[in-house]
């Protein structure tokens, strides 16, 4: 079987500008992901806590640390100026190059002992002269500046979902040949039939969001006039991939708790790359107020409310949420 990813990256390399560097970074990530998938499958890292906390105060698991180390090692010879990770408080300066990489090395790691799909999310940003080489300026670029973005899913299959700004592609790794051997383009239907949200947080949500969800739950008997299904994996990569395959809407809103006043997901290496992939597949992604990719980037590990998926449904949900600004966020 052909190495379809290699063919794709070879063609990309010929596009000029920094395309050669983009292709080199993606190739390095794709090789490291094969190793990480094998490590997960073979249970090489103990489950349970690693004893340390990351910049968001979450306990790091041995596999979080292993994933971070594995990618950092694999990227040593990649054309990268700097690397930022959920598992590193500060960005790390690399050998030099025209690109910066931000990543969540192991997304959904709280699911690891349950054999639910987990993944790696990445965002590639350009390094421009006006940044003066300073990582804090480079990583302060808004999501629309991303040069490429994507995520790996470590599930029954190893998948790479990738956008370089001209559509979103899915590559499937074939363990029998050791190559990413199949490619399909993702296209999200405009209308959603499923929604995805951690409904245990309902009491903390703003009232307009509670009303929107109630409308979905009432289905054909309510204002929406049709039934919806509910699916929530609790791994952003798994929920995101499902939506790329068959549409739907995902919401991780801000809520009334101090710890969730900006939601739960990180903008730089979770929301922005997912939003880029979703938009390039014909969907939409919002922070509840406007387009996610236009939201100014705050702190390196800053959190953001995230709503994405089928275009029409994201519009309906954000119209409801727009009312939140005018209404008290007290729980019902
Ligand atoms: P992680 O990067 O530490 O794994 O956290 C992010 C995960 C996402 O994969 C998922 O969408 C979300 O956290 C689930 O959060 P919750 O358990 O609050 O529903
Ligand atoms: Mg994550």
- For a mutational test of ligand 1's pocket, the pick from 55, 62, 235, 243, i.e. the residue with the most ligand atoms closer than 8 A to its C-beta, is 235
Res. 240: pLDDT tops 50: yes
Percent of the chain with pLDDT over 70: 95
Ligand 1 mutation target, pool 253, 264, 302, 303, most atoms within 8 A of CB: 264
Instruction: Point out the ligand 1 atom lying closest to the alpha carbon of residue 54.
Output: 3
What is the whole-number distance in angstroms between the Cα of residue 282 and the centre of ligand 2?
23
The pLDDT of residue 331 is above 60 = no
pTM here?
Answer: 0.95
Residue with tokens 């998938």: 37
The domain 4-186 is placed in CATH, from the list 3.30.420.40, 3.30.540.10, 3.30.360.10, 3.40.50.10320, at: 3.30.540.10
DSSP assignment letter at 261:
B
- How far does the centroid of ligand 2 lie from the alpha carbon of residue 225, in Å? 35
Position with higher pLDDT, 168 vs 51: 168
Instruction: Output the six-digit token pair for 127.
Output: 């390094």
Return the pLDDT at 95.
Answer: 85
Domain spanning 194-331: CATH 3.40.190.80? yes
pLDDT confidence of residue 53: 79
Measured distance CA(294)–CA(289) in Å, rounded: 11
Structure confidence at residue 10 (pLDDT): 96
Q: What is the pLDDT of residues 56-94, one digit of tens each?
A: 777 888 899 999 999 999 999 999 999 999 999 999 999
Atom of ligand 1 nearest to the CA of 56: 3
Is 255 near ligand 1, meaning CB less than 6 Å away? no
Which residue minimizes the CA distance to atom 16 of ligand 1? 234
CA distance 196 to 137: 34
Q: Is the shortest distance between the CB of 204 and ligand 1 below 6 Å?
A: no
Same CATH topology for 4-186 and 194-331: the answer is no
What DSSP assignment string belongs to 147-163?
SEEEEEEESSSEEEEEE
Percent residues over pLDDT 90 in the chain: 86
Residues 6+ apart with CB under 8 A from 282: 187, 188, 190, 311
Kindly report the CA angle at 276 between 78 and 143, in degrees rounded to 5?
75
Q: For the chain, which residues make up each domain, given as ranges?
A: 4-186, 194-331
Determine contact, residues 81/94, Cβ cutoff 8 Å.
yes
User: What is the C-alpha to C-alpha distance for residues 84 and 93, in angstroms, rounded to an integer?
Assistant: 9
pLDDT band at 162; cut points 50, 70, 90: very high
């Amino acid at each position: 079987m052909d190495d379809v990813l290699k063919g794709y990256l070879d063609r990309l390399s010929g596009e000029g500008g920094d395309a050669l560097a983009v292709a080199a970074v993606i190739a390095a990530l794709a090789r490291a992901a094969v190793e990480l998938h094998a490590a997960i499958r073979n249970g090489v890292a103990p489950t349970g806590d690693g004893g340390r906390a990351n910049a968001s105060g979450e306990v790091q698991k041995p596999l979080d640390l292993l994933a971070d180390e594995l990618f950092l090692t694999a990227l040593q010879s990649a054309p990268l100026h700097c690397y930022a990770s959920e598992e590193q408080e500060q960005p790390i300066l690399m050998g030099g190059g025209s690109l910066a990489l931000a990543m969540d090395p192991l997304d959904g790691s709280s699911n690891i002992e349950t054999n639910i799909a987990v993944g790696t999310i990445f965002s590639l940003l350009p390094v421009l002269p006006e940044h003066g080489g300073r990582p804090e300026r480079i990583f302060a670029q808004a999501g629309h500046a991303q040069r490429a973005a994507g995520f790996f899913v470590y599930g029954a299959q190893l998948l790479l979902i990738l956008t370089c700004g001209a559509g979103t592609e899915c590559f499937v790794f074939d363990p029998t040949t050791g190559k990413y051997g199949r490619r399909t383009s993702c296209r999200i239907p405009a209308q959603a039939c499923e929604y995805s949200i951690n409904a245990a947080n309902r009491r903390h949500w703003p009232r307009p969001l509670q009303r929107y969800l109630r409308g979905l739950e009432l289905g054909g008997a309510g204002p929406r006039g049709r039934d919806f299904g509910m699916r929530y994996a609790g791994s952003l990569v798994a929920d995101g991939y499902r939506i790329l395959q068959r549409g739907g809407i995902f919401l991780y809103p801000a809520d009334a708790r101090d710890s969730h006043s900006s939601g739960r997901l990180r903008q730089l290496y979770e929301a922005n790359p997912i939003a880029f992939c979703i938009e390039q597949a014909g969907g939409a992604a919002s922070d509840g107020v406007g387009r996610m990719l236009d939201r100014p980037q705050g702190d390196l590990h800053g959190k953001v409310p995230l709503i994405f998926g089928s275009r029409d449904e994201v519009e309906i949900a954000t119209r409801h949420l727009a009312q939140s600004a005018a209404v008290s966020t007290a729980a019902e």
